[in-house]
Structure 1
Amino acid sequence: MLIDVPDGKDPITYVWGELVPHIGPAAARFSGAVYEHTTLGLREFEAARLRIAQSNGCVFCQDWRTERDGVRVEDGFEDAVRDWRTSDLTERERLAAEYAERYAEDHHGLEPGVDPEFWERFFAAYSQREVVELTMCLGSWLAFGRLNRVLGLDVACVLPSHPQKAAT
């Protein structure tokens, strides 16, 4: 981890709250709003979120599973998202993963007029409101997952299901 965290302090709470008190809490509220107020289905939401996490390399984000009303995506869903081109995801799930990957790794390829075929497929499956909402979600995950990864926070708060990753 690149940031010195005082003994006894939780790294995420310290960095996102105390270290930058006028920015961190606002960022945390935006991040929380993505989860609290989304209208997207859980599987599409998780397909996009996991693809961003995989692109970012954030250990914590890859390990996290969003839960709604006690429901999470099944084990192995992350592999289907990684292999979205050939896996048995639904069309909406596949498009969410594709959009997330392109957003993170080739956003210039998404600019208006560059790939009208993608946008035609995307808008055939998603409403304009859903496209804007998903895009805002992607922005949150891309920014904050990369922040956590680049500063090494992601290995300071790894979920128990992947303890070996914390040592790498």
Structure 2
Amino acid sequence: MNIGPFEPARHDRTGFSCGHAGLDEYLRRYAGQGIRNGLVQVYVAADDGGRVLGYYTLSAASVRHEEWSDEARRGLPKYPVPAVLIGRMASDARAREAGLRVGSRLLIHALKQSLRAAKILGVRCVIVDSKPDAAGFYQRFGFLPLQPGSPRLYLPVGAIERLAGQGA
């Protein structure tokens, strides 16, 4: 399995099915458009034949002061804080059934890409708007809710640096 930038002409996404129709449709119809318009970067995990096993998107984002929990907002400015957004992440159902751990591999890749970005420009954290059934997945990697019970989760850059130091 290789993880790298999405290339519509090279990566076969026709059979991709993650179990969420919107995520499947995004990969098939809109991912290339988002890249061309400078809205996202899309990365895919693909097998040696170019079949997409999973994907994620990264883009710039910010978190408004009032979105942080009282505890997390201490010491932060009252203006929006820069972040990296993992906007979409999905793995093919057959890859999950085969135990390929595509989701974990994609998330680790996304965090490493985010850490690279943080070394070039100001980034406080990585955020994700998690589907309720996926929140536990992100929390196993240390993501925290911005507010108690919120589907918007974050992982501070400092935590990613510590993970990277452990060989993540």
**Same fold (TM > 0.5):** no
Which has a greater percent of helix?
A: 1
Q: TM-score, normalised by structure 2?
A: 0.26
Q: TM-score, normalised by structure 1?
A: 0.26
Higher relative contact order (CA closer than 8 Å, sequence separation 6+): 1
Which has a greater percent of strand?
A: 2
